[in-house]
Structure 1
Amino acid sequence: MHHGPSREGCAAAAAREAKTNPPSSVEVRAATRQDQQPSSTGLQDDGNGNGRPQPPPKRDLSGQQDPKEPHKQKQTVTSYTNEGTHVTVEIHPKGTSPQFFKKLSFGKGPRRVPSLRGQDNKAFERTEAPRPPSTKDLHVYPWDKSSLKSLAVDLQKFEKLDAYALKVNTKGSVEELVQTLLKQARTDLEKVRVIWMWICHHIEYDVVGFHNKSLRLCKPTDVLRTGKSVCEGYAGLFQQMCSVAGIQCMKLSGYSKGYGYKIGQTFQGNSDHAWNAVYLDGRWHLLDSTWGSGTVDDALTKFTFKYNEFYFLTHPALFVNNHFPDNSNWQLLKPTLTLKQFESNLQHNSDFYNLGLLAAHPQTALIQTENGTATISVECRPSTLFTFKLEGTDEHGLLTLRKQGMKLELYPQKTGRQELQIFARPSKSTEDVYTCVLEYIVECKSVDKSRCFPKDLHQPVGPSWFTEKQGFLRPSHPDPIIHTNDGRCSLTFTLGKDISILASLHADSSSLSEEMSRQHIMQIHRGNQVEFKVHLPHAGSFVLKFFTKKKSDPGSYSFIFNYLITCLNTEVKWPAFPLRYSKWAEGYELLEPLSRLLPANRNVQFKLKMQGISKVLVQAGDTYTLTLSRDGFWEGTCNTAGCTELFVMVHENANHSYYSHILKYDVETQ
């Protein structure tokens, strides 16, 4: 059995035959192979967050990366010794303990039964021969979204027990270790928990043994002595410790989607992983202490302890995402999955469920585009943020957040197979680091060139529950894309309290400088309502970005979200809005003229709405005074003759003699 972190070659199940002697102590044994060559399967291999640059990633032994590290991850596997409907049972005289079978690899020839020998050991408790799974052990497939575990567990009640397990550091025998651990455990569940926690925090993954079979140590005594092993050693030690504690436990083997796993690959030949099943409260439950223990680096040369609660009593409908036992009965599912289903099903790693995600569509890992597009959706509990990478970039899709999930529309810009990674993080997280939760292969047969998006488009796109939390309420345009035929559009929001907003317009062309990116937008405030008028400089695709900060905060503005604005009308060519100076106040509103460029030698009508102003002047070739109408507008006419620029000035205080410039226009040259 090859035992790599999450994707090792684990032994195929060895033959089992029962022997009976007049006993008073019974222990179930599962013979596993120790002489197999490494398999290409076993360790999980998952991408991870795409926030700020991270240090070299670590991979948990199920194949996942450390959530804070946006790179591929890897994990390990174990073996099991129940094959078909046969179980190997060792029966020992009272006061003796069994010696582990030598691991054998059986071919098609006759099977050899290992000799049974025991040595005196009064620490072993009587353990009944485990029964095979029955109907009452089975869980409905697909997952009913009720719980991540197959047994109701209150983790808070385990806090003292877990802390105790971490502190125990017995250097003696397996029996002495179990006796020490059980001092704080009373129920069978507590016994399993304290054993699980001790192994996950004291046995490191043997990265040297993973690469060199001759250096691998898998016997429980060796694993305990050295403090390291591969999957078979983890599962074997767990099984023996449970036996000492009087808990029925099986060591299982099968295929896994771990280290080295490639989306869409098929499985054949020897098993590549080992894990355990324990009998609690009248039912069998699954766990994987190897994948619960920690992470390894990309090269599988360094192990770091990083506990993963997910693989303790995992719900079978979730466990089968990346564990396929040799004996389908040990899926503990109704109905069971076929190997073909296991191969084609989308892999959900532990981070997927730990982040509160519930389901993804499509459920197959290989997606084919239709007319150049493909759609992926994720269902989750509220307040989860998402992003994605298609071949390392997020430029070729539109990701929109929903109250309970997200929707991603992909538009690949090249044909062929491409890797898609989807990342997620809790919105309440203080770190802007995303974790890879899903991986697909997208097969694109044709390209839709009309869906080539600007590079400035950020994911997710459009308003959502997240933008509402940032103060953008009741958006006039709930969809992420705004189509305009005449090159103009207007968006409105209700603002939350104490919010200042900025907006900017961006395109891939060089037509919009950084300065001009805000001059094609006119922002108008009316109480707690804000309107954004947008005039496009030409046809094409544009990104409308929004930034906010608290009014009471002297700091800079933060990006919140963006829209995609498209216009196909090649005749569109709107000039910018007038240049607004710093004295242009938030409550001011310009009704006309809206174009920065005014015709020469023409009378131009002005109309503005401004509160708290005593006088308004328009300075062109001559100076013109605007009058305040009964309905509160400053109005008047100005002639553009004899000037190239035009300014609007206001007198804020009647007791002061100076005017402040608020607007600037350009006049066409003849």
Structure 2
Amino acid sequence: HDDILSPSGHKDNIQIASKGNWRFSFRNRVQDEATVQPKRKKLEDKQITTYRYPWDKASLKSLQIDLKAFEKLDAYAAKVNANQTVDLLVKELIRNTHSDLEKTRAIWIWICHHIEYDTEGLKDLSQVSCDPNDVLRTRKGVCAGYSSLFESMCSIAGVKCKSMSGYSKGGRYKTGQTFSGDSTHEWNMVYLEGSWHLLDSTWGAGTTSHNEPFTFKYNEFYFLTHPALFIEDHFPEENKHQLLEPCVSLKQFEKLNRKCYFYKMGLLSSWPDTVTVETVKGKVTFTLEGRHHLLFLFHLNKTETPGLMQLTEHGMKLDVYPQKTGEQILQIFAKREDSEGVYDWILDYKVICKSVDTNMKIPKCLMNPVGPSWLSEKAGLFQPSHQDPVIYTEDGCCTVSFALKGKLSIFATLDSSEIQMTSDMKHRHIFQTQRENDVEFKVRLPTSGTYVLCVNVKDPNGDTYTSQCKYVIFCTNHTVHWPQFPLVYGTWAKHYELLGPLDGILPENSNISFKLRVPDVTEVSVRGGKSSFPLSLTPQGYWEGMCSTGGNQELNVTVSFKDNPNVYNYIMQYEVGKKKQIK
């Protein structure tokens, strides 16, 4: 997810000998700007159109363009052969263009698809040439090479263009850092339809990070980017080249933390809106809002996920609980709900934790997001009994329910990172009752601690089950030791209902009261060894009766159906004996 490497870290004035008059020297470029005739500068100032800051949330571009209208031109420009001079290349690129905008687009597309970032040259800047002909010949360049080639090609095409220098938040940027000294990056400003516009062909071409090789990955975001968004990671040496009103100060720039993919994903706002945040009582909360349903991931210190993230209608809420004090880096990633691709980096924060909340232990087995959301509704789960993703229980019991839309195949599991949960425990500490329009999960915890209840729904177009809603359950009562629910067989229908007994282990030599709702059967009995205890059907539709555990190691509930009354179908089993203690 790193941006293109810029020559940051090299704070000395960099001057590299190259062919012609091109120099990779940000300071020289600034001095050249200072020598421009005052009359020309006044004229230039009049041509600068400024945009309101902060962003008006209307468009990612400073010029309204139809990208579909560029499809034919883009395809052509990307395939133009460059075994020639810069002049001949430009003539070939613009031969079918009809405006300065189309000329600029053709040049942009060609550079972004053919010039590779010179990662090796960055290690030894004395070997780097930023002469446009050298960049074209080698098909490689650093940021100044990209900008000089772009400026030269625009000049040949008759499009007014300038190279800008300043600070950037590229591959060597460290979250929350301050900037000082010489500029670290170059980009371009192009004059189209009566005003100046910003673009960065270096970052439009692809990505690399530190010692990793360059990868072509076209990024449309940096073509005619709205200045209020461009300022997130580009700070020019001259304030007027921000094209903003009011201008952003360097201190403000250092606090900005949104990546280009934040805006490409349709996100509109994030809170806190500054890069450095502090925890309050061991916790810090982040919220994001946008235009679309999105999926999110987060990492603290690259590998940790000590937080609870809940999806909102067009964003998310994230509570982070760092497990150590000090400065830490939080990264947030996102992708569209219908995307099969990877998550893209959208935000980063420097989190300063002064104290750890030792009472909030996020289970390592938890995979965010948690709680009900548009994602669970999309799967057919509505009207949740618990809107909050965290459930606190004193007695170790809780009941979670949903209204259902359509015929769904559902099951739930219980997991914990504090005790070893066998497969049997994960399923039998939950008892599910599913009727036509709703489903209910009774949960009884094996012991105190923190658990994850995961509700899984079967894909209607396949055989796979996907987690659609998770709850985190907390119980601090150390006296809690609930046994498993009784074992149900495959013949236990989803709409059957068990009212008692709920304990899967029954006491020895005791009379036990049974009560079940099992519709559409002719007989319900409890069988143990050679003994059988038939239950009676009440006017309310329940099968009830008393059964003895004496002399039995297990009891089984059986049913008979009208079409085959002499066949007993086992639907449920109870153990008889002492309850097992979970340590």
Q: 1:458 to 1:253 in 2, by over 3 A?
A: same
Q: Deviations over 1:607-642 (max 9, x none)?
A: 111122121111136211112222221121212222
Write the letter of the residue equivalent to 1:232: A
Please tell me whether the aligned partners of residues 509 and 550 of structure 2 are also in contact (alpha carbons under 8 angstroms). Answer: yes
Please tell me whether the aligned partners of residues 644 and 669 of structure 1 are also in contact (alpha carbons under 8 angstroms). Answer: no
Q: 1:324 to 1:655 in 2, by over 3 A?
A: closer
Q: Are positions 1:534 and 2:443 aligned together? A: yes
Q: Are positions 1:81 and 2:71 aligned together? A: no
Distance, in Å, in 1 between the alignment partners of 2:221 and 2:279 is 33
> How many residues matched?
567
1:260-275 maps to which residues of 2 (within 5 A)?
A: 260-275=172-187
**Which shifted more, 435-444 or 597-606?**
597-606
**Structure-1 residue corresponding to 2:431:** 522
**Structure-2 residue corresponding to 1:563:** 471
Distance, in Å, in 1 between the alignment partners of 2:91 and 2:42 is 22
Unaligned 5+ residue runs, structure 1?
15-30, 37-78, 90-127
Distance, in Å, in 2 between the alignment partners of 1:80 and 1:171 is 31
Q: Deviations over 1:385-404 (max 9, x none)?
A: 01111123444111111011
Distance, in Å, in 2 between the alignment partners of 1:34 and 1:423 is 35
Distance, in Å, in 1 between the alignment partners of 2:77 and 2:202 is 17
Distance, in Å, in 2 between the alignment partners of 1:83 and 1:316 is 24
Distance, in Å, in 1 between the alignment partners of 2:460 and 2:502 is 27
Write the letter of the residue equivalent to 1:250: K
Which of 2, 5, 24 matches 1:34?
Answer: 24
Q: Deviations over 1:383-422 (max 9, x none)?
A: 1001111123444111111011111101111111112111
Write the letter of the residue equivalent to 1:187: S
**Which shifted more, 5-14 or 598-607?**
5-14
Distance, in Å, in 2 between the alignment partners of 1:136 and 1:327 is 13
Which of 392, 395, 420 matches 1:486?
Answer: 395
3-state secondary structure, aligned to 2:55: coil
Q: Are positions 1:306 and 2:243 aligned together? A: no
Please tell me whether the aligned partners of residues 13 and 25 of structure 2 are also in contact (alpha carbons under 8 angstroms). Answer: no
**Which shifted more, 159-168 or 596-605?**
596-605
Distance, in Å, in 1 between the alignment partners of 2:574 and 2:48 is 80
Which of 233, 239, 242 matches 1:322?
Answer: 233
Distance, in Å, in 1 between the alignment partners of 2:440 and 2:25 is 72
Q: 1:669 to 1:401 in 2, by over 3 A?
A: closer
3-state secondary structure, aligned to 1:499: coil
Please tell me whether the aligned partners of residues 80 and 252 of structure 1 are also in contact (alpha carbons under 8 angstroms). Answer: no
1:165-314 maps to which residues of 2 (within 5 A)?
A: 165-296=77-208, 298-300=210-212, 302-314=213-225
Alpha-carbon distance, 1:325 to partner: 0.5
Distance, in Å, in 2 between the alignment partners of 1:639 and 1:83 is 98
Which of 323, 329, 345 matches 1:419?
Answer: 329
Distance, in Å, in 2 between the alignment partners of 1:130 and 1:197 is 32
Alpha-carbon distance, 1:181 to partner: 1.6
Distance, in Å, in 1 between the alignment partners of 2:13 and 2:164 is 10
Alpha-carbon distance, 1:600 to partner: 3.0
**Alpha carbon RMSD of aligned pairs, Å?**
2.5
Distance, in Å, in 2 between the alignment partners of 1:80 and 1:156 is 40
Alpha-carbon distance, 1:179 to partner: 1.9
Please tell me whether the aligned partners of residues 5 and 290 of structure 1 are also in contact (alpha carbons under 8 angstroms). Answer: no
Distance, in Å, in 2 between the alignment partners of 1:303 and 1:666 is 63
Unaligned 5+ residue runs, structure 2?
16-20
Distance, in Å, in 1 between the alignment partners of 2:83 and 2:325 is 59
Please tell me whether the aligned partners of residues 455 and 508 of structure 1 are also in contact (alpha carbons under 8 angstroms). Answer: yes
Q: 1:656 to 1:144 in 2, by over 3 A?
A: same
Please tell me whether the aligned partners of residues 130 and 141 of structure 2 are also in contact (alpha carbons under 8 angstroms). Answer: yes
Please tell me whether the aligned partners of residues 458 and 561 of structure 1 are also in contact (alpha carbons under 8 angstroms). Answer: no
Alpha-carbon distance, 1:492 to partner: 1.1
Please tell me whether the aligned partners of residues 5 and 172 of structure 2 are also in contact (alpha carbons under 8 angstroms). Answer: no
**Structure-2 residue corresponding to 1:111:** none
**Structure-2 residue corresponding to 1:43:** none
Please tell me whether the aligned partners of residues 216 and 229 of structure 1 are also in contact (alpha carbons under 8 angstroms). Answer: yes
Distance, in Å, in 1 between the alignment partners of 2:58 and 2:304 is 33
Alpha-carbon distance, 1:85 to partner: 7.2
Write the letter of the residue equivalent to 2:5: P
**Structure-1 residue corresponding to 2:522:** 614
Write the letter of the residue equivalent to 1:391: N
Distance, in Å, in 2 between the alignment partners of 1:642 and 1:548 is 41
Q: Are positions 1:374 and 2:284 aligned together? A: yes
Please tell me whether the aligned partners of residues 171 and 210 of structure 2 are also in contact (alpha carbons under 8 angstroms). Answer: no
Q: Deviations over 1:153-200 (max 9, x none)?
A: 100000111111112214333222222222111111111111111111
Q: 1:225 to 1:508 in 2, by over 3 A?
A: closer
Alpha-carbon distance, 1:84 to partner: 9.9
Q: 1:253 to 1:10 in 2, by over 3 A?
A: farther
Distance, in Å, in 2 between the alignment partners of 1:194 and 1:551 is 46
* Percent identical: 47
Write the letter of the residue equivalent to 2:318: L
Alpha-carbon distance, 1:468 to partner: 1.0
**Structure-2 residue corresponding to 1:102:** none
Distance, in Å, in 2 between the alignment partners of 1:88 and 1:232 is 21
**Structure-2 residue corresponding to 1:351:** 261
Q: Deviations over 1:66-102 (max 9, x none)?
A: xxxxxxxxxxxxx99356973547xxxxxxxxxxxxx
Alpha-carbon distance, 1:603 to partner: 2.5
Please tell me whether the aligned partners of residues 490 and 533 of structure 1 are also in contact (alpha carbons under 8 angstroms). Answer: yes
Distance, in Å, in 1 between the alignment partners of 2:464 and 2:250 is 55
Distance, in Å, in 1 between the alignment partners of 2:522 and 2:45 is 88
Please tell me whether the aligned partners of residues 227 and 244 of structure 2 are also in contact (alpha carbons under 8 angstroms). Answer: yes
Which of 550, 560, 564 matches 1:655?
Answer: 564
